[in-house]
Structure 1
Amino acid sequence: MKILLISSTGGHFQAIQKLSYFWRKHDCCWVTFRTDSTELILKDKKVYWAYSPTNRNVPNLIRNFILAWQVIWQERPQLVLTTGAGVSVPFIILAKLAGTKTVFVESFTRVKELSLSARLVLPFLDVVYVQWEQLTTKYSKAKLIRI
Structure 2
Amino acid sequence: MTFDKPDAVEPLAGEHVIHAHHPTTRNVVNLARNWHLARSVLRRVRPDIVISTGAGVALPFFVEARRRSIPTIYVEVYDRIDSRTLTGRLCRPFTSRFCVQWDEQRDLYAGSELLGPVL
Would the TM-score normalized by the shorter structure come out above 0.5? Answer: yes
Contact 1:54/1:87 (<8 A) preserved:
yes
Q: 1:30-72: per-residue Cα shift (whole Å, max 9, x none)?
A: x111123422222211111000000121110000000000111
Aligned residue for 2:54, secondary structure, equals: coil
- Runs of 4+ in structure 1 deviating by more than 3 angstroms, as ranges, are none
Q: Tell me the alpha carbon deviations over residues 74-130 of structure 1, each in whole angstroms, 9 at most, x when there is no partner.
A: 110111011101111100111111101100111111212321101001110011111
Amino acid at match of 1:116: L
> 1:94-133 residue pairs with structure 2 within 5 A?
94-133=64-103
Aligned 8 A contact 1:126 1:141 in 2: no
Between the two structures, name the one with larger relative contact order (CA 8 Å, sep ≥ 6).
Answer: 1
Which amino acid counterpart does residue 119 of structure 1 have in structure 2?
A: R
| Matched residue count | 117
Alignment TM-score, normalising by the size of structure 1 = 0.74
Deviation for aligned residue 1:131: 1.7
What fraction of aligned residue pairs are identical, expressed as a percent?
36
**Which residue of 2 is the match for residue 141 of structure 1?**
111
Give the whole-Å Cα distance in 1 for the aligned partners of 2:114 and 2:78: 11
| Secondary structure in 2 matching 1:59 | helix
Aligned to 1:52: 22
**C-alpha contact 1:129 1:144 (8 A) present in aligned 2:** yes
- Secondary structure, aligned partner of 2:10: helix
Report 1:61-72 matches (<5 A): 61-72=31-42
Residues in 2 aligned to 1:61 and 1:72: alpha-carbon distance in whole angstroms: 16
Q: Distance in 2 between matches of 1:37 and 1:143?
A: 28
Q: 1:141 to 1:128 in 2, by over 3 A?
A: same
| RMSD (CA atoms) | 1.4
Q: Extract unaligned runs of 5+ from structure 1.
A: 1-30
Residues 75 and 137 of structure 1, relative CA distance in 2, 3 Å threshold:
same
